[in-house]
Structure 1
Amino acid sequence: MRLRVLAALAALFGAFLISAPAVAAQATTYRGEGDDVVRIPMTTKPTIVKLTHQGESNFAVWTLTTTGKKTDLLVNEIGDYKGTAAFNVSGMNKIRSFSVNADGAWTIQVLPLSKARYWAINAKGAGDEVMRLTSPSKGLRRLTIRHSGESNFAIWALDNRGQHLDLLVNEIGDYKGRVVLPAGTRYATVSADGTWTISRG
């Protein structure tokens, strides 16, 4: 009898563990000034980072693997900067650190990809951004895109896992055009130095 009771309790406890809700991922913010190497919990998941810098010279941030290899260049700009980028979207590297080159104060906020900015039908912004659809796109959809700037303007579509799906735009300076939104797109990364608008239709 005692063995039956223990078995029942074990089964109940196991079911509780399986059905217990997962703890929501929390944002972590790192702050510093000047050059630094920032250690983070190792991750292989696609992840977003919100970056800021107050300075006059180059601001560059690389992701580093557990062996110290540089993988994703998150930002490489001169002077003040504010933007959002993603890493591990072209592979599942074991990211352990950020390498920061800066002449001023900076912040790096690490967030799960699911916390990317919601992508409404009409989106607008300035500079680098990562956006999220509520569900993967279906069928034939098009994007009407505009950019006003001087440097590289690029948009990548990412799939439901956060991996590169297709390069939609890759131009220098001002841009205006329509492109196909690939079926299965869930996220998009925007690299820009100016203002932009993206309309889904």
Structure 2
Amino acid sequence: MYPAPPEQPAPKKHRKWPWITAATVALLVIAISAAHRPTPLTGTASPATTSGYAPTSSASVTTTTTPTTTTTTPPPPPSVYNGHGDDVINLTRPQGVKIIRFTCAKCTGNTVLKSDGAESLLVNTIGAYDGQQWADIREGSVTSTLTVTATGAWTITVGGVDMARVADAGAAGGTGDDVVLMIRSSTKAEISNKGDGNFVVHVAPLAGGFLDLAVNEIGGYQGTVPLAGPALVQITSDGTWSIAQS
């Protein structure tokens, strides 16, 4: 028994959905800050002086500065689930965008991962699988269970947007399904793919607005499409791919 064949994509058609709230944007900004936190400056600051003016008093002046602290609640560490064969996993993570990594290195039959959230079908392939997908990217989506169909041992890791790969040089490449945080500003991107199956690229701009279906093709692909960066990008591919912002 084999999974149903993939739906034929609508060539060059861009569908859009409302997707993020202010809380989601905040989480994405936190992820960027954590990956690119600047080195704190050290040393003694000199008092400012005004050109042409010298104080006439010899009395010393002491200025006391109260340090400002910002308290943030760090996201919980990723949850890891190990199993074998078919199973149903109950998630207890907070609401919000999730990154789900699914690995089944020795699977030989149908390999399927479903969620009860808006994304529904996360993985649907035959044989081994190793990749990651996002979940609950759409506003109002809440994933509470994952359903696994597999013939071998598997591992599922569920975390926040900090699990996404960070592309700080404006370019990213890889093999298979992945989620990448493109942190450079951009209006478009050159995208390529070498594979035989579905090649889909979704773009979720950090500025908010709409989830963009940038590419939806079958097989190899080469082209330039709109990409409003910084953005969280999901790639679905059975081959090798690359994305270069511009």
User: Would you call these one fold, judging by a TM-score over 0.5?
Assistant: yes
* Equivalent in the alignment of 2:171: 122
CA distance in 2, matches of 1:89, 1:96: 14
* Equivalent in the alignment of 1:193: 238
Query: Does the aligned pair in 2 maintain the 1:114–1:132 contact within 8 Å?
Result: no
> Aligned pair 1:32/2:83, yes or no?
yes
CA distance in 1, matches of 2:208, 2:155: 24
For 1:166, which of 212, 220, 224 is the aligned residue? 212
Q: 1:87 to 1:56 in 2, by over 3 A?
A: same
CA distance in 2, matches of 1:161, 1:25: 24
- What stretches of structure 2 of length at least 5 have no aligned partner? 1-68
Aligned-partner residue type, residue 62 of structure 1: K
Q: 1:76 to 1:154 in 2, by over 3 A?
A: same
Q: Structure 1-normalised TM-score?
A: 0.79
Q: 1:71 to 1:157 in 2, by over 3 A?
A: closer
Identity %: 32
Q: Structure 2-normalised TM-score?
A: 0.66
Residue-pair matches, total: 176
Aligned-partner residue type, residue 242 of structure 2: T
* Equivalent in the alignment of 2:226: 180
Higher strand share: 1
Q: Give the 4+ runs in structure 1 shifted more than 3 A.
A: 18-21, 161-164
CA distance in 2, matches of 1:142, 1:198: 10
CA distance in 1, matches of 2:240, 2:213: 19
- What stretches of structure 1 of length at least 5 have no aligned partner? 1-17
Quote the offset at 1:74 in angstroms. Answer: 1.2
Quote the offset at 1:72 in angstroms. Answer: 2.1
Bigger-Rg structure (1/2) = 2
Q: Over aligned residues, Cα RMSD in angstroms? A: 2.2
Query: Does the aligned pair in 2 maintain the 1:117–1:131 contact within 8 Å?
Result: yes
